[in-house]
Amino acid sequence: MSGIKKSNTKYQSDVIVDLIKQYGFEHIALNPGASYRGLHDSLVNYGENDPPMMLCTHEKIAVQMAHGYARHSGKPMIAIVHNLVGLLHAPMGVYYAYLDRVPVFIIGATGPIAEPKRRPFIDWIHSANVQGQVIRDYVKWDAQPATVDYVPDSFARAYSVMMTGRQGPIYMCYDAGLQEAELEHEIAMPPEDGVRVPAQAAPDPQALKEAADILAAAERPAIVADFAARPPHGWDHVVNLAETLGASVWDVNSRLNFPGNHPLNLSMDQQACYEGVDAVLLLDVADFEKHTHVRDISTRTVKTSVNPDAKWIDIGWTDQEISKWSMDYSRTLYPDVRMTADVVTASPMLTDLLKERIAKTEGLAEKIANRTELISQKHHALRTQWKKEAEEDWDSQPMTVGRLALEIWEVIKDEDWVLTAGTMHDAARRLWDFDRPYCHGGRELGTGTQIGTSLGVALANKGTGRLCIDLQPDGDLMFDAGALWMAAKYEIPMLIVMYNNRAYYNDWNHQIVIANNRGTDPSRAYIGMDLLDPDPDFAGLARAQGWWAEGPIENGDDVQGAVKRAVEQVKKGKPALVDTVCLRGKGKATLT
């Protein structure tokens, strides 16, 4: 690039840039900080801002943006956070990337470690004895190289650890003094043609045979798929397995594992999915209870929806890389067959074994065809029921969530669309047709995560011509409103339709439950929950940060026109927001 003033001296931070380029990272999200000023200068001048840096308004958003990018594309992205204080902003983003099994390469900085080089006060309060300790319980690995000679080795190991199943974030911390020192000798770099990530783990052949025996003998098998469709592989393996077996499928939706309108899909209705089931196949399921048990939020009790005599088969990473601090491992399952293996590798192998048994077993193909037809009837009945429910209270103002989902669908159904995260508590999953592996990045996570991950998904789709849609909760955007600026700054085209019920309603409903249990006044449950007086002006907020925006809209008759106008803007490369206001508690919300 002409006109760039180059240094005649090579610095140790230049080595980090060489590694970033060698490993093919395409984007860097960061919030600036003096602790990595050496690396920053190397990225800008030595590396010529390639891959490009993207300024984020908060370290948590930087991590979440990398999270969404990797979640959708399967390719990791770098997030850089400033020393100790920047790292303390980031943990919520790091924790959710860890829970969501997403590879994020987090770079931090510290020091200088050498005490004589520290500025009074500021460098001392921004340094820690073991900086990675802050997030060590929910990253796969962290390292803080003491010398530049260990930088390439640790970088290569971090990449491998991050990308090996079960995937997750890593943290590399670089001393400010190390970054800013001149490079005085040649450094051994990882070989260009070296294997960066080991082949994924295959299942034990005997255990796989036992699983095939159970499934082939089952009268009514069911599949629960959680992290089964790892990007960019998509869902073909799950579809082939389900169709071969004639099994109902419950898609947990951490990733989009199965077509929403496939006749074997009985997700979101446990009675339909598990009625008469005598064998359950779990495909990389993080928590078996949540999607096979009915929860009573009033009494905090759970009751299984599966026959107690059913056989269970578990394939995945159940006990791999679980936190020593967080109880993300959930309750223990005692399956009949259990394999630690990559599901993308194991599923086709299991399908082949089942096809062999079907070919050799008289009457089995006919039995599979018969139960496939029965499951299909249930599927179509459910879709019809959900559509009818969504049309109830059609003219209410504010509109119901079901009506909002249907109005948006009418506009986008013929587009090549991608839903970035949330589904409005599954209203979109019930009413839209999720018919391509890439059309959903995966379910929403905790409050204060959706806008950041949605930006990453939209970034991963930039230039593809796909229409990226974020059904954005109002409370979530209030956490991270500054993230809107980033989409305008970096020309990330995306459509936000606000899922705005002017409240943190999930918790509001919990307060109603408690009030009813205790005999107190449920009409007071809104206290400490509502987003009213003043009502946040999301359209005004978006316009102030460079977006096209319209709303608030409470009348469902006005939604399609506004969304069409917004889509026109997105197709021109501009982010657009439509603020739509919904009734609270309508649209079959699933409360947690």
Q: What is the 3-state secondary structure (H, E, C) of 352-404?
A: HHHHHHHHHCCCHHHHHHHHHHHHHHHHHHHHHHHHHHHCCCCCCCCECHHHH
**Hey, what's the torsion of the CAs at 320, 326, 330, 335, to 10 degrees?**
20
pLDDT value of position 550: 98
Q: What are phi and psi of 136, to 5 degrees?
A: -60, -30
Which residue, 35, 211, 205, is CA-closest to 125?
35
Residue 119 has pLDDT above 90, yes or no: no
Q: pLDDT per residue over 199-250, tens digit each?
A: 999 999 999 999 999 999 999 999 999 999 987 777 999 999 999 999 999 9
pLDDT value of position 14: 98
Q: pLDDT per residue over 132-190, tens digit each?
A: 999 999 999 999 999 999 999 999 999 999 999 999 999 999 999 999 999 999 999 99
Question: Contact 507/529 with Cβ under 8 angstroms?
Answer: yes
Question: Contact 76/66 with Cβ under 8 angstroms?
Answer: yes
pLDDT value of position 240: 97
Distance CA 450, CA 445 (A): 7
pLDDT band at 585 (very low <50, low <70, confident <90, very high): low
Question: Contact 417/409 with Cβ under 8 angstroms?
Answer: no
In our burial notation (b when 16+ CB lie closer than 10 A, e otherwise), range 345-355 reads: bbbebbbebbe
Alpha helix (H) residue ranges in 391-521: 401-412, 427-431, 450-460, 474-479, 483-489, 505-518
Distance CA 223, CA 211 (A): 12
* Amino acid at the residue 142: D
pLDDT value of position 198: 94
Structure tokens at 287: 């928590």
Which residue, 257, 296, 233, is CA-closest to 443?
257
pLDDT value of position 586: 45
pLDDT band at 323 (very low <50, low <70, confident <90, very high): confident
All structural domains of the chain, each given as residue ranges with its CATH number in brackets, are 12-180 (3.40.50.970), 205-385 (3.40.50.1220), 391-580 (3.40.50.970)
Question: Contact 462/42 with Cβ under 8 angstroms?
Answer: no
Distance CA 19, CA 516 (A): 59
pLDDT value of position 39: 97
Query: What is the value of pTM for the model shown?
Result: 0.95
pLDDT value of position 589: 38
> Residues for the chain: how many in total?
592
pLDDT value of position 2: 54
DSSP 319: T
Q: What are phi and psi of 495, to 5 degrees?
A: -110, 125
Residue 259 has pLDDT above 90, yes or no: yes
Quick one: what percent of the chain has pLDDT higher than 90? 82
Look over the chain and give the mean of its residue pLDDT values, rounded to a whole number: 94
